[in-house]
Amino acid sequence: MTQVQTECVLVVPTALFHRLGHFQGFSAEMDRYLGELFSPAHTSYRPRHEVEEDPGFKQLIPYVVFRYTDPQGRVHLFQYTRGKGQGENRLHSKKSIGIGGHISAEDVGAAGEGLATDAYQEGMRRELAEEVAIDTPYTERCLGLINDDESEVGKVHLGVVHLFDVEQPHVRPMEDDIREAGFRPLDEILKDQSRFETWSQIALTAIVDAA
């Protein structure tokens, strides 16, 4: 079996998400969701190849957006095109503003004894280190959650949007499959958003509202 097939990833029951309050698109109500979603009573690690096809579970995914505001006040976002080597083949060749990926059972060991939030933070750090080099100071905040049940990939994932405001536009890809990468003015991205994956289109609305 391949690594993707044997990898166990962090999930929560979709029924829990519906009980807390199902939504389509973006929600900034983090207090309503995150505590229960990361509770040990609800989280588990299941084989990725199984849950990718099982809408009974939602895989929790950090989705990190890098924002740079230039001296003239113009907002830029880091964006790229997904290559074929990136894990989710249903998103290949799509443009994206989000960096992140699955939280693995291996992240639990790296985080030490603790809650699912510790493994989540460790997994997010690992994904960032694997995918990009951040050569500038930044501040971080969580904006909310993305849910998209209108696509096959969205039905089995739940995104947590993190906004990294960087002091300089010094973020570069560490993988060949993060193609055509770099900072681009937000207003240009908004005009071109039909070329972006659905999560990016949803996140763009949250970014504009958070400006």
> Where are the domains positioned within the chain?
3-210
Q: What is the reported pLDDT for 178?
A: 93
Contact 138, 184 (CB under 8 A): no
- Architecture field, domain 3-210: Alpha-Beta Complex (3.90)
CA 124 centroid distance within chain? 9
**How many other β-carbons are positioned within 10 Å of the β-carbon of residue 17?**
20
Res. 86: pLDDT tops 80: no
pTM value > 0.75: yes
The two tokens of residue 172 are 């570069």
List all residues 6 or more positions away from 56 whose beta carbon is below 8 Å from its beta carbon. 13, 14, 15
Q: Is 157 within 8 Å of 59 (Cβ atoms)?
A: yes
**pLDDT score of 3 more than 50:** no
| Percentage of the chain lying above the pLDDT 70 cut | 90
- The answer to whether residue 34 scores a pLDDT higher than 80 is yes
Q: What is the pLDDT of residues 109-159, one digit of tens each?
A: 654 555 577 889 999 999 999 999 999 999 999 999 999 999 999 999 999
Q: Which tens digits make up the pLDDT trace of 60-80?
A: 999 999 999 999 999 999 999
In the chain the beta strands, taken as DSSP E runs, fall at 8-13, 25-27, 44-47, 57-69, 75-82, 95-96, 132-134, 138-147, 157-166, 171-173, 178-185
